[in-house]
Chains A and B, each alone.
Chain A
Amino acid sequence: MLTIKALRARLLAPLDPTLFNASALLMAMGLVVLYSATGSDLAKVVSQVRNLGFAFVAMWVIAVIPPHKIQRLVFPVFGVALIALVAVALFGEVSHGARRWLALGPIRIQPSELMKIALPLALAGYFEWRGRDLHWADFLVAGLILLVPVALVARQPDLGTALLIASSGFYVLYFAGLSWRVISGLVLAVLSALPLVWHFLHDYQKKRILTLIDPTQDPLGAGYHTLQSMIALGSGGIFGKGWLQGTQSHLDFLPEHSTDFIFAVFGEEFGLLGELIFLALMGVIIARGFFIATEGSTPFARLLAGSLAMTLFTYTFVNVGMVSGILPVVGVPLPYLSYGGTSLVTLFISIGLLMSVHHHRRLVKQ
């Protein structure tokens, strides 16, 4: 009896209760909304539950491994992700006008998803390796490590994902102590380069930004998504129309309603109140992530946890911003709610990494 209890305690110990419970609640909400968003299609919900099974195992396995062991794997993981990205550029499958997928026998993977985790890992590992006295050249090298995968993804072309990967890498640099002067310089440079960037955007990217300013310009095309999701959210009001009662999504006005635009379904059916609960739970997870980061025992642990927490916020903000019409339409899944195996596994790996950092914070002595 005692041994079973001890074993159970040992197995459950790495699972941080705050992260675990908030994740469970969010996931429950996600499955409930997914059932509605897919038009009461149980098969998709079951498939998502299966994805969740994989994701949970991945989370747990990673939570059990102490960060210093994870640290040893960061460069091989980054290397594999980078090779996969190069492979995509050379012989990836073209879908939706972009080369994003890599077929490995029966499995199709999207290496840019892998890079979302691999890049912050690699950068945190790099700074840990460089030690305490960071030279400005170290940041330059880190910047180069960051730019290579970002450039590869941007060329696919998948500018949205490239920017998200860049941001997750940039957070590591930021937490590692990138000088404020450089940060403000970068911000200024980006702002002043915006008109220049405009020239290099693809037509469809320009269209998305233009329709942000006036979605009624192109109601059949690029503006359609935003217009319909705004109607969904707005008509949901404070209390929502109730589960399975959303007319926008059920009459098929709303595109991508089980993946990137699921927040519109959620908002239509559960209203502002439901959204606040969702955002509050996300807030709990993000805040917990930052707390874990400050408690981290090594620079690697801190940098990684801080970057992951900030990345979670970025995804949530960009997705909700897109659905509510204040950001251009980029293909970003909403954590916990969007349907999709890769993004769910990636999300739970992040949570697993946070748990690992937290659980092993005292086990590793400096």
Chain B
Amino acid sequence: MKRYRPLRNPQEERWQFRLRVKVLGILIVALCTVLLLRLVWLQVVSHQYYHTLAEANRIGIVPIVPNRGLILDRNGVVMAENNSTYTLEITPSQSGDVDTVIDELGSVIAISPTDRKLFHKLMNETHGIAPVAIRSRLTEIEIARFSVNRFRFPGMEIQARLIRNYPLGESASHLVGYIGRITQADEDRLDDNDLSAAYRGTNHIGKQGIEARYEQELHGVTGAEQVETDAGGHGVRSLARTEPMAGNDLFLTIDAPLQRAAEHAFGNFRGALVAIDPTTGEILAFVSLPGFDPNLFVEGIDQGNWDALNNSPDKPLNNRALRGQYPPGSTIKPLMALAALTTGVRSTSFKISDPGYFAFPGSTHHYRDWREHGHGMVDMHLSIIQSCDTYYYSLANDMGIDAMHDFFTLFGFGQKTGIDMDGEALGLYPSPQWKQARFHQDWYGGETVISGIGQGYVLATPLQLAQAMATLANNGVMMRPHLVRAIRERATGVMRTTPLEAVRTLPLRQEDMDFVRDAMVDVLKPGGTAAQAGAGATYAIAGKTGTAQVVGIKQGEKYNEAHTQERNRDHALFVAFAPADKPRIALAVLVENGGHGASVAAPIARQVLDFYLLGKGVKGVKDDGGDDVND
């Protein structure tokens, strides 16, 4: 091997360098020759051919847009479909000055400023070659009026088009979501995923909910037709055609009648409800109220409706079930009890004396129980059915925040559930490490104490609460919550069922779970906080009430509902599963500013359970004001 390449002098070095330059020079000349030959071939030899393609008879590639897949509930009730509708389209190259024409058209059929704006936007996008819709969803009368005046409007055509329709309207609006016109941001995203070509010709894309999450399944495969066109852009003949493939149909896990019943049960209240089949993780109902009409968004929402939705203090566009984060309050007490049994911090028979408050030794600060003078001697069973705060203050203090954090993390607190919908909120179960990282502050014992009753930093989404209940109902096996049950492939007709997925099996003892479940059943029996809601039930319901503070109450002051403004009233919560011995449904109910878990949230849950298990009708709950049971 030649190890050294000694160069004796700069002259030789230069000579070497020049040689190498010359060699590259030869390579460059060779490559340039290839390039020039190619250019000559394109521009001289094949010029006529390409000239024909470009000038006299352009070959247009016309995309054929596939029909979007349907969205159906678990029993085939249609939740999103494609309806045929009539649109009026203008071909700007043939119509003359579009603004004049549209002004004139305005005397025949109604044209809103929004229609006009949308038209100009689309016209700019298509460079005035293709026909652009000025109006969609024409009525019979409008079609007739235009037809009579047709001769006045050259270059205008009525076309039958498919338009997305959500027959259930506001029902399940957050769940199904909606499609809307493709915006620049959507285009960039498609471009990023190398999908621009696949969406050529497609005007709409899923924006929210299932429509957005399952866009790829729903969209289908765009077909293409190679058309020979004349210089004016009119198709002369078709050269080749690839058929489009319609999008796949989605069968949801949702039970549409149950969904509507649950929405109805809320009456005029705002809030959220998530119902899960605990053995499969299938979401049976996914309610966020108030809802909105997704049909408004399909062709571009007008400013008035948008402002109304966006500026409403009720925040109808907010998906509370998925993104709303609330203090879970007393609904977590059964889990706290289970944590105590699992870690051995408490036995079931251990009793505390409840004077109506908890205080650290030597401190005058009182962590108050909801019942002013306390519950007397309280064991674990009583602490659940009476929702004794003092018991859990003391328990939290003995258990410590780290053990609580570990246990609740197992139940999915502070983590995404992994549901098949975008934008899920994380919720929060605090720990000293978290506080240090977030606020650069030390953790205080008092923060542990209030975490014990689900207040303080603890936040959970209704979905997380429902999942925690479902996990308890399913004897500690956490199933992945999901909204799509099966996908029907258009190409083959094959049903692809979503495989059930066990997230994890929690390390819990059966007798501990049985104890907590039995106590939760007694919550809805006489002596329990939700006895009213449980009255007359023909099956056993395991449940727990909860109340989440919206505004803080000062030391020595009492929460007085009558004196609290509606928006500052507490949120009412209720979690449950039933039948308790063989659960088919687990749910979490949150009623914003509902006041009491027992008086507002529990009756909603009871009605939903009755509807699902017994097929009973539902009537909306009313705010029945005062009730002694506060929690």
A313 touches B28 (CB 8 A): yes
A299 touches B43 (CB 8 A): no
Contacts of B24 in A (CB 8 A): 174, 290, 310
A5 beta carbon closer than 8 Å to chain B: no
B535 beta carbon closer than 8 Å to chain A: no
A233 beta carbon closer than 8 Å to chain B: yes
CA distance A299 to B198 in the complex (A): 52
19 contacts between A and B (CB under 8 A): A96-B191, A96-B194, A133-B6, A175-B17, A177-B16, A204-B194, A219-B226, A220-B198, A224-B61, A230-B50, A247-B54, A267-B43, A275-B43, A283-B32, A286-B28, A306-B17, A310-B24, A324-B39, A326-B35
Q: Which segment of A18-26, A116-124, A152-160, A235-243 sits at the interface?
A: A235-243
A237 touches B51 (CB 8 A): yes
Please tell me the size bucket of the interface on A.
35 or more
Residues of B48-78 contacting chain A, CB below 8 A: 49-51, 53-55, 61, 63
Which residue from A94, A218, A271, A317 sits with its C-beta under 8 Å from B43?
Answer: A271
Residues of A94-145 contacting chain B, CB below 8 A: 94-97, 132-136
B438 beta carbon closer than 8 Å to chain A: no
Residues of B176-217 contacting chain A, CB below 8 A: 188, 191-194, 197-198, 200
B5 touches A174 (CB 8 A): no
A179 touches B17 (CB 8 A): no
Contacts of A174 in B (CB 8 A): 20, 24
A221 beta carbon closer than 8 Å to chain B: yes
Which residue from A234, A251, A286, A302 sits with its C-beta under 8 Å from B46?
Answer: A234
A32 beta carbon closer than 8 Å to chain B: no
Contacts of A321 in B (CB 8 A): 35, 38
Determine the residue in chain B with the shortest Cβ distance to A298: B10
Contact with B along A273-306 (1 / 0, CB 8 A): 0010001000100100010011000010010001
A97 touches B51 (CB 8 A): no
Q: A94-B192, A233-B39, A272-B40 are in contact. Are A238 and B47 (CB under 8 A)?
A: yes
Q: Whole-angstrom distance from the CB of B14 to the nearest CB of chain A?
A: 7
A146 beta carbon closer than 8 Å to chain B: no
Which residue from B5, B34, B35, B42 sits with its C-beta under 8 Å from A179?
Answer: B5
B7 touches A132 (CB 8 A): yes
CA distance A132 to B5 in the complex (A): 9
Contact with B along A30-52 (1 / 0, CB 8 A): 00000000000000000000000
CA distance A134 to B16 in the complex (A): 14
B35 touches A317 (CB 8 A): yes
B129 beta carbon closer than 8 Å to chain A: yes
A272 touches B39 (CB 8 A): yes
B42 touches A233 (CB 8 A): yes
CA distance A177 to B197 in the complex (A): 47
B345 beta carbon closer than 8 Å to chain A: no
Residues of A206-264 contacting chain B, CB below 8 A: 218-222, 224, 230-238, 247-248, 251-252
Q: Which residues of A contact B (CB under 8 A)?
A: 94-97, 132-136, 174-175, 177, 179, 204, 218-222, 224, 230-238, 247-248, 251-252, 267, 271-272, 275, 279, 283, 286, 290, 293-294, 299, 302, 306, 310, 313, 317, 320-321, 324-326, 366
B127 beta carbon closer than 8 Å to chain A: yes
B43 touches A248 (CB 8 A): no
CA distance A337 to B194 in the complex (A): 26
Residues of B20-44 contacting chain A, CB below 8 A: 20-21, 24-25, 28, 31-32, 34-36, 38-40, 42-44
A294 touches B42 (CB 8 A): no
A220 touches B200 (CB 8 A): yes
Q: Whole-angstrom distance from the CB of B26 to the nearest CB of chain A?
A: 12
Q: A219-B61, A224-B197 are in contact. Are A136 and B42 (CB under 8 A)?
A: no
- 4 closest A-B pairs by CB: A234-B50, A235-B54, A221-B197, A237-B47
Q: A97-B193, A272-B39, A290-B25 are in contact. Are A326 and B18 (CB under 8 A)?
A: no
Which residue from A232, A271, A302, A366 sits with its C-beta under 8 Å from B54?
Answer: A232
B55 touches A247 (CB 8 A): yes
Which residue from A237, A247, A286 sits with its C-beta under 8 Å from B44?
Answer: A237
Contacts of B4 in A (CB 8 A): 133, 135
Contacts of A96 in B (CB 8 A): 191-192, 194
B224 beta carbon closer than 8 Å to chain A: yes
Which residue from B7, B44, B192, B194 sits with its C-beta under 8 Å from A95?
Answer: B192
Determine the residue in chain B with the shortest Cβ distance to A310: B24
Contacts of A97 in B (CB 8 A): 192-194
B43 touches A231 (CB 8 A): no
Contacts of A310 in B (CB 8 A): 24
Determine the residue in chain B with the shortest Cβ distance to A317: B31
A320 touches B192 (CB 8 A): no
Q: Whole-angstrom distance from the CB of B239 to the nearest CB of chain A?
A: 11
In the complex, besides A234-B51, A237-B47, 13 extra interface pairs with C-beta distance below 8 angstroms are A135-B4, A136-B3, A175-B17, A220-B61, A233-B39, A236-B43, A247-B54, A247-B55, A251-B129, A286-B28, A294-B17, A302-B17, A324-B35
B103 beta carbon closer than 8 Å to chain A: no
CA distance A302 to B47 in the complex (A): 43
Q: Whole-angstrom distance from the CB of A39 to the nearest CB of chain B?
A: 9
Contacts of B55 in A (CB 8 A): 235, 247
Contacts of B38 in A (CB 8 A): 321, 324-326
Determine the residue in chain A with the shortest Cβ distance to B52: A235
Determine the residue in chain A with the shortest Cβ distance to B47: A237
CA distance A251 to B188 in the complex (A): 21
